[in-house]
A and B are shown apart, each in its own frame.
Chain A
Amino acid sequence: MNPSPVIEVDRLTKFYGSREIVRDLSLTVPPGSIYGFLGRNGMGKTTTIRILLGFEEPTRGSTRVFGEDSRKLDPATRARIGYLPEGHHVYGWMTVRECGQFQASFFPNWNQDVFEAVITHFRLMPKMKAGHLSRGQRAGLCLALTLAPEPELLVLDDPALGLDPVARRSLLQSMLYVTRQPHRTILFSSHLLSDVERVADRIIVLDGGTVRADCTVDTFRQNLRHYVLTFRDTPPPTPALPGLLESFRTDRELLLTLANVHPETETLLANLNPESMEPVQMTLEDAFVSYVGERGEKTFFTRDRAMAK
């Protein structure tokens, strides 16, 4: 038996008026890993998170956290979840220390040592006014407020937004620090793929309100391949290839980006009789852009088991 999942989303659909934001989305997050939640803006990441935490009602489908329906989360269950909303909001008229005291009053497991450690890590003084902090400092304060209750599940909605490189590094260090303890789970959305590559165990890619990939970073990269085919003359017309994401032609070359390449696909390519055919490694960012870019086909679904040969 696998350990019971921390997050379960089952065929979730959400409409705002006639606009469908989330479409038939299903995913499961087991305990003890760091999940990167990726997707372009407006693809349903924040909406999914808000439904997950019970701030919005699903139109159809259901979501569960620690096995409880998100619509009626028990306060004791809520205390096990740390949520950092987008934008790093703070009560500007409080000092850093007061923010801590205020937040502590809601959480029975408040750990003042953690609060102070994160504050120090971001070089904040208890007497500073929250309203006068820089973006990076505010992020540090919000993170301290989210981590001090020692949540088992941490949900961070674009925590790196607007942070300078030093503050971003501190954020990543804090995330790794959290998972020092077993069975801590982090779900974080981000557009900074180099950060994701550093810390995430797995990624979930949302596109058009639905899950298009749920796998490890390496699986994602391996499943997306870029080929350079060189020809003696003008390249032949691009054949119908399963999984074709992008194609680009030059005088003598055909550049193809493909998802989930099968041996048969390689045979199809070889049948074009190129002079040379070279697979090229892609960065995570290039792979992501090809996968969810304008020309990407919407039917591919990358999973680890697709890698099994």
Chain B
Amino acid sequence: MSLGLTISPASEVPIFRQIMQQIQRAVAVGTLHVGEQLPPVRTLAESLVINPNTVARSYQELMREGLLESRAGRGVFVAERRQVFSEEEKTRRLRHSAEQLCHEAILFGLSGSDLTKLVEAAWKELRIA
């Protein structure tokens, strides 16, 4: 099982981060549930044809962020949601992403309300209440 991940080398985004982003997304949209097991490092690495240490690094970073947890001898699982970031850190991270989004919107000539509508639509699509 490869979680349906796709990676593109030759990207500005390092491979370990591409994997992180896609697992984060899978958890956010509910294709990966709390308590679900992730494929072993070696298996995922071989199915994506990448170095196992890269997969291990993605898992480690996601464990540090509290999204995944390792259970001794059994593997890596999606963790119960818990808050590892301070309020300031959460705001800082989201603000950064929001700024990036705004930059692009300005570039494409969108208005503030156009952008808000897009965000609302995307939010609905992820089916998060």
Q: Which residues of A contact B (CB under 8 A)?
A: 34, 169, 172-173, 176-177, 179-180, 193-195, 197-201, 217-218, 221, 280-285
Can you list 7 A-B contacts with CB-CB less than 8 angstroms, sorted by A residue number? A193-B9, A194-B10, A195-B9, A198-B9, A198-B49, A221-B14, A281-B13
Interfacial chain B residues near A201, Cβ < 8 Å = 51, 53
A34 touches B51 (CB 8 A): yes
Interfacial chain A residues near B52, Cβ < 8 Å = 176, 179
In the complex, chain B residues 1-37 whose Cβ is within 8 Å of any chain A Cβ: 9-16
In the assembled complex, the Cα of A302 lies from the Cα of B50 at a distance in Å of: 24
B46 within 8 A of A: yes
Q: Summarize A's interface: helix, strand, loop or mixed.
A: helix
Interfacial chain A residues near B51, Cβ < 8 Å = 34, 176, 198-201
Task: Name the residue among B14, B46, B49, B52 with the largest chain A CB count within 10 angstroms.
Answer: B49
Given contacts A177-B46, A179-B52, A285-B10, 13 further A-B contacts (CB under 8 A): A169-B49, A173-B49, A176-B46, A176-B49, A176-B51, A194-B10, A198-B9, A199-B51, A201-B53, A217-B14, A218-B16, A280-B12, A281-B13
The 3 closest A-B pairs by CB, nearest first: A194-B9, A281-B12, A197-B9
Give the residue of B10, B42, B53 whose beta carbon is less than 8 angstroms from that of A197.
Answer: B10
Interfacial chain B residues near A34, Cβ < 8 Å = 51
Interfacial chain A residues near B13, Cβ < 8 Å = 281
Interfacial chain A residues near B46, Cβ < 8 Å = 173, 176-177
Interfacial chain A residues near B45, Cβ < 8 Å = 176
In the assembled complex, the Cα of A176 lies from the Cα of B9 at a distance in Å of: 16
- Shortest C-beta distance, A168 to chain B (Å), equals 10
In the assembled complex, the Cα of A2 lies from the Cα of B7 at a distance in Å of: 33
A172 touches B10 (CB 8 A): no
B12 touches A193 (CB 8 A): no
Residue of B whose beta carbon sits closest to that of A221? B14
